[in-house]
Structure 1
Amino acid sequence: MSSRERLKELLNDLFRIESSDLDFGIYRIMNQKREEINKFIENDLDKYLDEALKSIQDDKKKELEEELEKVKKNLAKLGVSDYTVSSDYNRLREELEKYDAANPIDEIDVYEHIYNFFKRYYIDGDFISQMRYSKENKYVVPYNGEEVFLHWANRDQYYIKTSEHFKSYSFEKKTIGTRVEFKVNNAELDKNNIKADEKRYFVLHKDFYQYNKSDKVLNIYFEYRGLRDEEKQKYKKQNTQNDINKYSFEEIKTRIVKEDLEDLYWLLEKADNSNKTILEKHIYRYTKKNTSDFFIHKDLKGFLNRELDFYIKNEILDLNIMNRDKIEEVKKLLVKAEVFKEICKKIITFLDSIESFQKKLFTKKKFVIQTDYCLTLDKVPEDVRNHIFREVLSNERQLKEWKELYDEDIKDLDDLYYVDEKLEGEKRLKKLTIDTQFFSEEFKEKLFTSFDNLDEQTDGLLIHSENYQGLRFLENKYKEKIDCIYIDPPYNTDASEIIYKNGYKDSSWMALMENRISIGRKLLTPDGLFISAIDEYEYMNLLGLKKLIFGKENYLGSIITFCNPQGRGKKVLDPVSEYHILFAKNADLIDDLSIEKPDEQVKMTPFKRTGTNSRKHERPYRFYPMLEKDGKLHMISYDEYLKIYALNKSFDEDYIKELTRKYEEKGYQVIFPQREDGEYLVWQREFKRAQREYTTYIYKNGNIYTPGFERRTPRTLWLDSKYSNPEYGTELLKDMFGEKGIFDYPKSIFTLEDIIDLKENRLILDFFAGSGTTGHAVINYNRNNELENSKYALKYILIEMGDYIDIVTKQRLKKAAFTDKWKEGKPQSYNGHSHMFKYIRLEQYEDSLKNIRFSKETESIQMKMEDYFEDYLIGYMLDYETQESLLDIDRFKAPFDYEIELENEEKDVVKIDLVETFNYLIGLNVEKLRVYNHQNRKYKIVIGKVNEQKALVVWRSVKGLDMEEDKRFIEKEIIGDKRFDKIYINCDNYVEGSTLIEEQFFNLMFEE
């Protein structure tokens, strides 16, 4: 194979020319531009080289001609007419004649250098940014004199892979209802016969075939591992995965034919626009999807241009011949370097245009494609309860879920209540959770337009998304708002391994963590904490990475928990612990951390609160009188308590005096929490918790004490048995759900409860949410501290990409709010907690790619493309051809009907929630939602604050809209006498001072 052919083959690989069957990731982009890319490789590349050589030849020839002409003029001045008598003339004539037929450099050598340059950075579908220094010294890192330096191969890249399609990949034939699922099953992997760092492949499991005739589901099981010795002999070395795929197809085909199942014969038909069968196409797609396209470079052009200069200096220019004696050879080298650089720069520009396009899609803030709320019954505002409860009782899907979650058979209004014996037999609403996904849009509008301060009343946020996309989505609304981040990422061991590029296990993991931790740091308050759980395998890497991001001066230490008493069964050293690495955003702002002492270490604690948040107005729900008579403590009734702090958020001082007089006349001593100077404070517990516990309180010398409550500085070793993950993580979930194995390796709930209590927090973020232990711990914290519906309650944000978010994470939060006591999946009490969380689902990177549409080129653009191919790719493809599919401004004219397609979804299209998406893009803290009907259309109104500025957002369809009447309605009916600092309205309008939503939307969605 010639050097030219080798280079073209490499470029075909770089641009995925032979992958026309693939329709995901970068392949989707390349397929759209296949014709132009082929033209570049097959025609333009040779043309560029010929033009570069000709240009250099022409320059050299012109130089010789000018020298020759100069010699002739000098001879003429001397009166010499026969120029051949001059040796200079003869030499230049000879050189000029030779140059007409000669090429100053070897073009084969140029092709070879171009091939070698790009080959060194391209590995199986990805550019790996490993900087080269010279032939002798293989690699160099960008070291700038630091005392200690941390580097990894993918440091300048985004990790874009998710394990969802790795774990389960499915497709179906809708017309006959047959579904096929590819799954990875490594349960019987022979690890002793395979090296850990060996290249891995998708190989059929020994029991690879399972067809359920009743459900019409065919499961195909693969292993993802290195090859055994006999398998290495079986498959070719060059295209091993392709050879394995062919074998896999034949094995599956044999089973289908043998069992003669008509429902599966469609798999053996030819796929559209392909020479492969449908089954072959999907096997190829599945294996390729999970073994390539792992990274996107943050600045590919900058990296390759820097490397290009290194390559020229070290691989082309030979310092051994850089002297006056070899001036002609030096000239040839410089010509070669110039041609090489010019061609490489064209290829680099081409490659970077594709990479930058991917980067733009990956980093853009994503659309919200689902918004729902889960709220306990008591959260429904009283003025709409009757209507809402009636509709809930007629919703079969909701009633069915209550039966499955809570074992509650609800038939009528009375079934929604229970009698609380601890509160004098008072009837109270059960903490059943309404999930709005079961209800119509009209139901949701009726419910949520009745709320005031909606975001303030929302206790949690659950986001279904890959976590990089989720964090980007949160940036504008929660920048410097998160008090504590806790994550429990995959440990990258055999038990919790990320999907990684062969040979780059640790660096893939480092890229994953760096991308996400860096954004997380931006979200922390100045005194925020970032806590990461990890075991010994990646501990040193994660510690070094966080020192790099936060600065080593902000490292607070690592807490070791005794999390797995029975061990893992390792032979040499058996791990029983894990680390929790603590960093502060600014360690100077951390006064102290503390943890509650075990009960046996302290006898009693004052019931009166002192210190932070101890004054009457700071925690109004903890201000109430305690009663004492004959040395025993008593309490007022719950109804009396409710009148102390009125609904208008102020204390009823007259009622407090009346209440005091009433009980003093009955012979009680009325005790309020007060300082010695008479200033009113608050108690340690809110009223309802005190009602349950007051008989255990101690009255002594006019003071009230609670047993066993005090705090101390946390130590770095937590040995208590309550931190055992199997007992208080796995077993807890078994008690809650009634079955084992619904989630692997959940954390002990007590570990999280103690970690989130290390400092005064208001908002916790966990972007590796898993089964939802962090959210559960927050609910428990608020329940234990009687912070129900309090502005001092702790809140959470959870991000999780796994599909189990719907069946485990979300359901766990609902169960945790219902009660804290479960056994075999059934509640053991009605110890519920008032709770409401929002559930958001985001568009993903693959969804963005699926919705790419290229507009047809005009003749003028095609002509321009032929002359300026690289400019075409960067400018035209990104800014014009795909513009409408990335964000179609025209669809804002009917904002409630904007739809996109989803990757690997049974539903072809889903509606975008533009309203919710925009709220997060501008960082809107939502106070009120309003819905109006005017001019036969819906007006959806959002009122809130953006950076303490009052904001109004108006959405409506503008098709057939009377603009004058629209202006009158917005200004008179919606704005009225209210004052707003910012008014956002979609599409054309006549409202003075308003900002067009779509302009802000575009700028904010694509900002970096």
Structure 2
Amino acid sequence: MERRAMTRVQRRSEPLPSDARPGSSRGSNRERGRAKLQELLQLDAARFGGVADALRGLLDGGGSSEPEIGEHLLQFFGRFFEEGKASPVRGRVGGSGKSDVSLHWWGFDQIHFACASRTADHETENGLLSGALGASVGHVIFKDLAAYLLRELDDYLLRNVVQLGKPETDLQSSLEKAAAIRKVANIIIGQLAAAEEVRKRLWLKKKFVFDTRYLIRIDLVPKELYPEIARNCAQVDEWVELFGIDGAQRDERGALPETFLEMHPTLTVDTRHFDDGFAARLLEALGDLEEKTDGVLVHGENFQALSLIHERYREKVDCIYIDPPYNTGNGGFVYHDRFPHSAWLSMMADRLGLAEGLLHDGGTLFVSIDGNERDRLALMAQQKCRRLQLLDTFVWVNNLKGRQIAGRGAAGTHEYVLAFGGPGRGLFTVPVKWATQTMPSAYKGFRYQVFEDERGPYVLKNELYNTNSRFNEKTRPNLVFNIHYNPVTREIRFSDVDETVEFEGFVKIPPHPNRDGKHRFHAWRWSRERILADSGDLAFVRKGRVYRIFTKVRDFAETNLKDLITDIFTSDGTRQLAQLFGHPPKVDYPKPVELVRIFVHQAPQDGWVLDFFAGSGTTGHAVIEANREEGSRRTFVLVEMGDHFETVLLPRLKKVVFAPEWKDGRPVRMPTAEEVERSPRILKVLRLESYEDALDSFALDAGEANEKKSECLSSRGDEAFILRYVVERDDGLRLNIPALRKIADPTSYRLRKPTPDSREPQEIRVDLVETFNWLLGLRVRRMWAPRQFRLDGEIRRCRTGLQLAGRLVRDAHGPYGFRAVEGELPEGQRALVIWRKLGGVPEEDDLLLEEWLHLEGFAQRLREFDVVYVNGSRHLESLKAPGDRWTVRPIEEELVCRIFDSTSS
């Protein structure tokens, strides 16, 4: 009966039958109800503090309804479980007997996401009722769990307890019973909602950067670093494997000759193969990183990545192209491809909401989709993204053989690309030469003879008259007139259409006849005034005994983009990857480069292109290819969370940078000198903290965090600092990171992560410097290498305070460390960020900071900056000169504030 009752309660559309309602079984009694509730709730004072007292008063107070309370609570809360795990969607969508379409807007009450892979042995305890923050690591987080559960509770009580059809005496008893159930349920819901709120805030918080590396074109690297690179066997091994380099060129130690590096300028140096010191020296030598970085590759969940990069690219992006899962039910995608409509739309809505803020008014969002979700996506995007309107729907004819996915209807031959844009979006164009070669079926008529006049080359496309018969002497009388042209002097005169006037030496050109059966003439497209003003852009061409007037098209390298895409097929994407790798990598349905190039071209030649469903990296490939052919300098940002980020996406881009053409996994030809200059110079690669990482690092309170930290410090030494997220209950449910209240050494902070094959948790280093740059939205102009110092002398205390008797001396093993980052904030202010390793005595740290600023020349440059960020104490006022307006801000407060600034959303 218990299983049957739980099955039937899932159907909200009908009350429980009498034989399945709690309390109907003669065998139920007070002890059974209490035992079931105790088992369900797993009560303890820390998790559900007020529930036990409330139950004791209700269950021990007498009355016929006492044993039923536990049963009703079991039935109500148990409906959200499946096989012991939380399944909150079942109570509303999965359990409804109706079509999901009628409920598809409901999904916006939830956050939907894909999880990183986890093993069962190390999965966080699952279940809504398993205890506060033993949260399920599922794919759903409720944005307001309390409101949802209270709505569901009201519905449950109305249908299964109150039942309005009862006699009056029974109704009064039912109302009292419902009030008792609600009293206990409210306490449970409050605790569950608090736990869910923390889960939500852990999801919404900005994530840390775990790892930062750079792919740098070898010809940008200073020559003095070539010997170290040529001797790095890990780097050389990668080049041999990816680029098919002849291993015979290596010496007995595995090194390549330095001349080989000079002869192959598009080799990419991957800083992961080198120690931190080498990478830091290389970045410092490169100078302006912002200007030289042509791409950013982010390995992480796309919602988290969009949230982190938002400040840096806010209203800066020109073009977004994404190829999300089509929600068709086919497996193999990192993101679930068989959501209910509601869940899929909710997943997309949250991401499009963030992406909208990255586009400027003239930017465009392109979304590949098929007919399964096309209409719902178009409607949702325009409702959630108020600045964007649906501009066009492109039809991509990609499989003339046809394919059958839905199991019914006709075989599909096409997909769609939806184009959304803001008020500043102009016409879509495409290069004529490229379009005629790539899509000849749609652009086969675009071949024109090129002429030249004193203003330069031009082609003749359209005649001056308006080809639409609706524009005639009735609708446009001011544009219907005779044109008189002198072929010798090129003078132009006019007369009314019914005048018989003739001018000596002039040829009379009447308006074009209208053959609609109702009107005499077509109207001209230009007025008399414009014809006189822009006569140099008109060509009077003699055809036999008459003249025809054409407009000269001087910008004929491009033409308007059509909404029909032909001659590009789905199989082309797989074929292109096979040419690069020698075999098709395990990536489902990669988009062809030519398809994505159509949309990449809608960004200006120095624009930003974003793809946050990057897959195999087709968008990056398309940008690189377009830049090489057009001489443009577009920059791309790719986001991908799948494991193929390392195995497919990164190798693909390294190959494309190295050589423009490939076959069977080997380069067909090397780039020309011009193509080398147009190739990416620096690609930055980031790996982000995941939501699961944040859950693994959560502590219920600061005491637990300190206990965990002490355990770690005792085993690893004082150089390690473990970051734990804690809830500060005195301030509502605000999250904090106690270890960041004072950053003693920015290079030593870590998160702990369970490992499937070891009892010892893995510690992941956090890149605080890079994380802070992104949180600020900093455009990095100079990344100085970290430098270590020792004190040659001593610090003395005198009557006026501390005094440095000596100087700082550079020493690779010295106890004092400093690193500076220069850049610009989104509002245009110049910023200097100073990271230092603190010694533990604030006054001494400040004294050494001033000494370092003088030693490195920053003290004299401080007036160049508007704001200076520094960790630890920040008493730099003594360095201010009259008229200086720079201010000092603490890194710790700014860092924590910006990490959690969106968690209340």
Fold shared, TM-score > 0.5 on shorter chain = yes
Of the three residues 835, 839, 845, the one matched with 1:963 is: 845
Of the three residues 698, 701, 712, the one matched with 1:852 is: 698
The offset of 1:759, in angstroms, is 4.6
* Runs of at least 4 residues off by over 6 Å: 130-133, 137-141, 289-292, 499-503, 605-611, 705-708, 877-884
The offset of 1:114, in angstroms, is 3.0
Q: Structure 2 length normalisation: TM-score?
A: 0.68
Name the residue aligned to 1:892. Answer: 743
Residues 898-941 of structure 1 deviation map (CA, whole Å, 9 limit, x = unaligned)? 11223558882221100000111111111111234344322111
The offset of 1:488, in angstroms, is 0.8
The alignment status of 1:490 with 2:325, answered yes or no, reads yes
Cα distance change, pair 877–547 in 1 and its aligned pair in 2 (3 A): same
Name the residue aligned to 2:53. Answer: 47
The offset of 1:856, in angstroms, is 8.1
Q: Is the 8 A contact 2:315 2:358 kept in 1?
A: yes
Of the three residues 556, 562, 573, the one matched with 1:715 is: 562
Cα distance change, pair 293–964 in 1 and its aligned pair in 2 (3 A): closer
The offset of 1:530, in angstroms, is 1.2
Partner SS state of residue 828, structure 1: strand
Q: Distance in 2 between matches of 1:954 and 1:391?
A: 29
Name the residue aligned to 1:583. Answer: 420
The offset of 1:975, in angstroms, is 3.7
Cα distance change, pair 767–921 in 1 and its aligned pair in 2 (3 A): same
Name the residue aligned to 1:926. Answer: 780
Q: Distance in 2 between matches of 1:878 and 1:503?
A: 42
Residues 348-369 of structure 1 deviation map (CA, whole Å, 9 limit, x = unaligned)? 0111122112112111111111
Q: Distance in 2 between matches of 1:577 and 1:464?
A: 31
Q: Is the 8 A contact 2:198 2:733 kept in 1?
A: no
Name the residue aligned to 1:840. Answer: 686
Q: Distance in 2 between matches of 1:502 and 1:603?
A: 47
Q: Is the 8 A contact 1:560 1:580 kept in 2?
A: yes
Residues 799-850 of structure 1 deviation map (CA, whole Å, 9 limit, x = unaligned)? 1111111121011111111221111111121214243110000111111122
The offset of 1:514, in angstroms, is 2.1
Name the residue aligned to 1:794. Answer: 634
Of the three residues 815, 819, 825, the one matched with 1:940 is: 819
Number of aligned residues: 682
Partner SS state of residue 154, structure 1: helix
Of the three residues 168, 193, 205, the one matched with 1:364 is: 205
Name the residue aligned to 2:598. Answer: 754
Q: Distance in 2 between matches of 1:343 and 1:747?
A: 54
**Counterpart code for 1:156:** D
**Counterpart code for 1:359:** K
The offset of 1:106, in angstroms, is 1.6
Residues 932-953 of structure 1 deviation map (CA, whole Å, 9 limit, x = unaligned)? 4344322111111112011111
Cα distance change, pair 435–759 in 1 and its aligned pair in 2 (3 A): closer
Of the three residues 990, 998, 1006, the one matched with 2:875 is: 990
Q: Is the 8 A contact 2:368 2:417 kept in 1?
A: yes
The 5-angstrom pairing of residues 398-547 of structure 1 reads: 398-409=235-246, 411-418=256-263, 429-496=264-331, 505-547=340-382
The offset of 1:294, in angstroms, is 2.3
Partner SS state of residue 365, structure 2: strand
Cα distance change, pair 537–882 in 1 and its aligned pair in 2 (3 A): same
**Counterpart code for 1:573:** A
Q: Distance in 2 between matches of 1:968 and 1:492?
A: 59
Residues 46-67 of structure 1 deviation map (CA, whole Å, 9 limit, x = unaligned)? 531343688xx8xxxxxxxxxx
The 5-angstrom pairing of residues 304-323 of structure 1 reads: 304-312=149-157, 316-317=161-162, 319=164
Compare 706-715 and 825-834 and name the one that shifted more: 706-715
Residues 687-709 of structure 1 deviation map (CA, whole Å, 9 limit, x = unaligned)? xxxxxxxxxxxxxxxxxx99995
**Counterpart code for 2:384:** I
Name the residue aligned to 2:484. Answer: none
The 5-angstrom pairing of residues 71-110 of structure 1 reads: 103=63, 106-110=65-69
**Counterpart code for 2:830:** K
Of the three residues 102, 105, 126, the one matched with 2:86 is: 126
Name the residue aligned to 2:752. Answer: 901
Partner SS state of residue 823, structure 2: strand
Q: Structure 1 length normalisation: TM-score?
A: 0.61
Of the three residues 196, 205, 215, the one matched with 1:374 is: 215
The offset of 1:562, in angstroms, is 1.9
Residues 779-806 of structure 1 deviation map (CA, whole Å, 9 limit, x = unaligned)? 111111113xxxxx11111011111111
**Counterpart code for 1:825:** G
Cα distance change, pair 9–838 in 1 and its aligned pair in 2 (3 A): farther
Q: Is the 8 A contact 1:131 1:140 kept in 2?
A: no
The alignment status of 1:976 with 2:827, answered yes or no, reads no
Of the three residues 146, 156, 159, the one matched with 2:109 is: 156
Q: Distance in 2 between matches of 1:10 and 1:879?
A: 32
Q: Distance in 2 between matches of 1:735 and 1:12?
A: 60
Q: Distance in 2 between matches of 1:472 and 1:150?
A: 28
Partner SS state of residue 893, structure 1: coil
Q: Is the 8 A contact 2:699 2:726 kept in 1?
A: no
Partner SS state of residue 229, structure 2: helix
The 5-angstrom pairing of residues 202-213 of structure 1 reads: none
The 5-angstrom pairing of residues 727-738 of structure 1 reads: 727=572, 729-738=573-582
Residues 843-875 of structure 1 deviation map (CA, whole Å, 9 limit, x = unaligned)? 1111112223455869xxxxxxxxxxxxxx996
Cα distance change, pair 879–366 in 1 and its aligned pair in 2 (3 A): farther
Q: Distance in 2 between matches of 1:531 and 1:12?
A: 51
From the two aligned structures, give the one with the greater strand fraction: 2
Cα distance change, pair 432–874 in 1 and its aligned pair in 2 (3 A): closer
Partner SS state of residue 532, structure 1: strand
Name the residue aligned to 1:296. Answer: 141
Q: Distance in 2 between matches of 1:464 and 1:592?
A: 34
Q: Distance in 1 between matches of 2:764 and 2:777?
A: 24
Q: Distance in 2 between matches of 1:402 and 1:950?
A: 39
Cα RMSD (Å) of the superposition? 4.2
The 5-angstrom pairing of residues 6-17 of structure 1 reads: 9=36
Name the residue aligned to 1:394. Answer: 231
Of the three residues 884, 899, 902, the one matched with 1:1005 is: 899
Partner SS state of residue 402, structure 2: coil
Q: Distance in 2 between matches of 1:610 and 1:997?
A: 58
Q: Is the 8 A contact 1:550 1:583 kept in 2?
A: no
Gaps of 5+ in 1: 18-33, 58-101, 142-147, 172-270, 275-280, 282-288, 419-428, 612-676, 678-704, 788-792, 859-872
Gaps of 5+ in 2: 1-26, 127-133, 250-255, 437-443, 459-532, 534-551, 705-724, 791-813, 878-886
**Counterpart code for 2:597:** E
Name the residue aligned to 1:768. Answer: 613
Cα distance change, pair 796–38 in 1 and its aligned pair in 2 (3 A): closer
Partner SS state of residue 286, structure 2: coil
Name the residue aligned to 1:811. Answer: 651
Q: Is the 8 A contact 1:944 1:950 kept in 2?
A: yes
Q: Distance in 1 between matches of 2:337 and 2:323?
A: 24
Name the residue aligned to 1:639. Answer: none
Partner SS state of residue 372, structure 2: helix
Name the residue aligned to 1:790. Answer: none
Q: Distance in 2 between matches of 1:127 and 1:11?
A: 21
Cα distance change, pair 364–811 in 1 and its aligned pair in 2 (3 A): same
Partner SS state of residue 151, structure 1: helix
Cα distance change, pair 565–911 in 1 and its aligned pair in 2 (3 A): same
Cα distance change, pair 450–820 in 1 and its aligned pair in 2 (3 A): same
The offset of 1:533, in angstroms, is 0.8
Name the residue aligned to 1:823. Answer: 663
Of the three residues 907, 911, 915, the one matched with 2:769 is: 915
Cα distance change, pair 509–39 in 1 and its aligned pair in 2 (3 A): closer
Partner SS state of residue 148, structure 2: helix
